[in-house]
Structure 1
């Protein structure tokens, strides 16, 4: 699939782009099915929040329209939408008046093993820790070196994901997913006010929880919470929900709450 820069087909980017030089931007990874971007409003809301917090002046209506046109052409796959602060000369100070750059790239939907969804996945215990920076917490900004280092820790294909903690040892998320626990009838996910990415599937499932009769809480989590959980699963906006069957010495079944939320996620991605 061709790449677009600022709404036009392009195969190159200005070497002075601040996204390349400093990771100065944000991005969204969006599943596209039958020409429609899944969870579109949640993705665009998070993108707008990231631009606002980083003071990147990007035309959100234009981004919306370009994404719809690109998805219609892609048909089925994954669209990666990148917004950078634009181009500038050397130095950290942003150039005043430089227009934001909008980049769209397409790829096929990943061919994940069906067993990830049916039987569940193993989590690798990552040693790379997430630094705490409340200003950037929750955003999907372009600085992903912590995830790159964490993913490089294992080559064993029996691990589908890794579990990441922050510098104080709190459980935060997967390398490319968010983590949920069911503990004593309560659905738990990590507080992301210090670090981590607030995934759009995470937000969607939290919004759906009350209608399903689930008490959902966002709070600090430790390894003991994971080990004592009744069910564990990971989620993102491309594959939906995967049960976690094993982490370290702990094992879990793919329980009824996980299966219920898996079905919800599947519906959200298909509509």
Structure 2
């Protein structure tokens, strides 16, 4: 496994790092094919927005150069890029000036069962709810305890993903995926201005769908509307698109719009 810290091969991290102490940082999980980072510009744009909102003074040109070199060396797999505020002393007050740390780790591409993409997946209804945090909404920050607790709710192989709602009962996303529904030919995904992660594959599929003339809506919807959907699917930047075939006792067919967007995502990941 490749591991770089601040552009150099390394595995040891300072115990004073604020990413470790407070989750004070951000990360991106990037599919790498033939040495190329898939959806690179979308990943970098989300990271830059996150650094701006958290006021982490990162050199994006340096970070991009390191990421490109890392992906070339990796070849095929998954690159995890983490940016922390760097070392700090005891207490929440951020260091001034901060010296951000750049961490890159590699992993093999996960071998998900073929049936996930072909036949669809069953969702587990998670009891863990997402708290409303408008300041952090949409960001892929390092504090993922809500997702850790949600993923701990099931251990069986029957469920490939979990469904997460917010504290008000709105449908938000999967534990590690974004969720779309289709109603009357319209593509609908949750408004993530209060909580949730604005995935790069989600953004790309919305753009691709709009370019194909497919109506797209980003808005609130609840469990009742989810159950009334014609099609449901999940997406993320590593596996692409998985149809959702069931939630508890409710079933959905794998529909044509899901298949169309699945093919688009597959082409992106196979580039």
Taking structure 2 as the reference length, what is the TM-score of the superposition? 0.99
- Per-residue Cα deviation, 1:4-38 (whole angstroms, up to 9, x for no partner): 00000111000000000000000000000111110
Q: How does 1:218-257 map to 2 (within 5 A)?
A: 218-257=218-257
- Residue 146 of structure 1 corresponds to which residue in structure 2? 146
Give matches, 1:1-271, under 5 Å. 1-271=1-271
- Structure 1 segments (4+ residues) deviating >2 Å: none
- Verify the 8 A CA contact 2:38 2:268 in the aligned structure 1: yes
Consecutive unaligned residues in structure 1, runs of 5 or more: none
Query: Quick one: distance in 1 between partners of 2:251 and 2:117?
Result: 16
Q: What SS does the corresponding residue of 1:204 show, helix, strand or coil?
A: helix
* Cα distance between partner residues in 2 of 1:32 and 1:2: 13
SS of equivalent residue, structure 1 residue 129: coil
SS at match of 2:126: strand
Secondary structure, aligned partner of 1:32: strand
Quote how far apart the aligned CAs of 1:267 are: 1.4
SS in 1 for 2:128: strand
User: Number of residue pairs matched?
Assistant: 271
Show structure 2 runs of 5+ residues with no match.
none
Give a deviation string over 1:82-126, Cα, whole Å, max 9, x none: 000010110100110131000000000000001000000000000
Cα separation, 1, equivalents of 2:2 and 2:219:
42
TM-score, reference length from structure 1: 0.99
